[in-house]
Structure 1
Amino acid sequence: MWRNSRSGWGLVSILFHWLSALTIIGLFALGWWMTDLGYYDPWYNQGPWVHRSIGILLLLATVARLVWRFLQPTPHAEGSRLETIAAHLGHMSLYVLVLVVMISGYLISTADGSGISVFGWFEVPALLYDLPNQASLAGNVHWYSALALMFLAAGHALASFKHHWLDRHKTLVRMLNPAHSQTSDHRTTK
């Protein structure tokens, strides 16, 4: 139940998926909200600190998720060959965009050479800083890649609903229930 099988996702993969999804949506909403904060707003400094701290934790979780995914079997995909290829490319694009968003956020936060305090628990040092226009360039990459990530994530969600309601596949159910994904019949339909 904890591990993936060829027929379904295990509990660890499911938790990584949903915690990442909720965190990414929350970070996007917080980031958007922060852009309108005034200097005297009590959240002017607190909002970015929370955003950076959660972002670093998400980066660590994403690295762990990628290692877990590499070590675990990937359940077979349901649908046509074209849908399977599109799903694979979509998932790879999601991972790339998540990493681009987080790395660009790191480069914004460390542009002046300061490390990132993660809720006061530990500090991530600035490894690359003082590059010309680092904060501004990384800020543009961060914003546009975050927007692209939201659009791609919305497409991902819509595809899962299409598979669930129109195609009657078990794709969505497998990502909600590890017990179901390990015991269900997952024949590919075309």
Structure 2
Amino acid sequence: MLNNTKTAYGWVAILLHWIMALAILGMFGLGLYMVELTYYDAWYKGSLYLHKSIGILLFGLLLFRTLWRGININPDSADKYASKFEVTSAHLVHLGLYLLMFTLMISGYLISTADGRGIMVFEIFNVPAFPLSVANQEDIAGEIHEILAWVLVLLAGVHALAAVKHHVINKNKTLVRMLKVQTTENK
């Protein structure tokens, strides 16, 4: 089952969710490591190159994920007893996660292209720099990028804890739906 249904997520949505979740956590860890490096450290340029390349690919994946979400059915809540507060909170957290990811990735692009040079992605293609820049763009975008990275990881943690709460306390299939595709045998 590739597409979502009213009761379950399809393989595409599940894979996009987990690939992006793991990549973003990895990028966060790499970012923490990178800020401790000095210009003369052996891995300084390599870590920047890797971070930028993965960031561009993640942005493409985020665009695809957003499109996929827009053209697919969004499964109904797995908790038929969920309060209006819980349903509204879940929607707001999902919206916040998407907005944070977009803003975080755009700020990363603005850091990397502040000097007018594009971003080479794994020596395969180059993403050109935006033709306009502002004074101190790299510093401003860098501050925004750092703050948003922390907010995204914290909000993702809240999201994960809510899924565990639904699984352990509410005993519903909220978490299970994002771990495997439901077939008629495991509904």
Task: Show the counterpart of 1:70.
Answer: 70
Aligned partner letter, 2:10: G
Task: Show the counterpart of 2:42.
Answer: 42
Per-residue CA distance 1:96-148 (angstroms, 9 max, x = gap):
00011100000000001000000001000001443111000000110001110
Equivalents in 1 of 2:56, 2:27: separation in Å? 11
Task: Show the counterpart of 1:7.
Answer: 7
What TM-score do the two structures reach when normalised by structure 1?
A: 0.94
Equivalents in 2 of 1:54, 1:35: separation in Å? 17
Equivalents in 2 of 1:84, 1:151: separation in Å? 20
Task: Show the counterpart of 1:33.
Answer: 33
Equivalents in 2 of 1:12, 1:58: separation in Å? 15
Equivalents in 2 of 1:56, 1:130: separation in Å? 19
- Given the alignment of the two structures, is residue 96 of structure 1 paired with residue 99 of structure 2, yes or no? yes
In structure 2, relative to structure 1, the CA distance for the partners of 1:87 and 1:184 (3 Å cut) is farther
Residue-pair matches, total: 184
The CA RMSD measured in Å over matched residues stands at 1.2
Task: Show the counterpart of 1:84.
Answer: 87
Runs (4 or more) in structure 1 with deviation over 4 Å come to 182-185
Task: Show the counterpart of 2:148.
Answer: 145
CA contact (8 A) 1:98 1:149 kept: yes
CA contact (8 A) 1:110 1:128 kept: no
What TM-score do the two structures reach when normalised by structure 2?
A: 0.95
For structure 1, list consecutive stretches of 5 or more residues without a partner in the other structure.
Answer: 186-190
Moved more, 51-60 or 120-129: 120-129
- Report sequence identity in percent: 46
Equivalents in 1 of 2:178, 2:170: separation in Å? 16
Task: Show the counterpart of 2:167.
Answer: 164
Per-residue CA distance 1:135-190 (angstroms, 9 max, x = gap):
0000011000111001100000000000000000100000001135x6655xxxxx
Equivalents in 2 of 1:74, 1:37: separation in Å? 43
Moved more, 129-138 or 15-24: 129-138
Aligned partner letter, 2:137: Q
Equivalents in 2 of 1:82, 1:76: separation in Å? 15
Per-residue CA distance 1:1-29 (angstroms, 9 max, x = gap):
11100001000000000000000000000
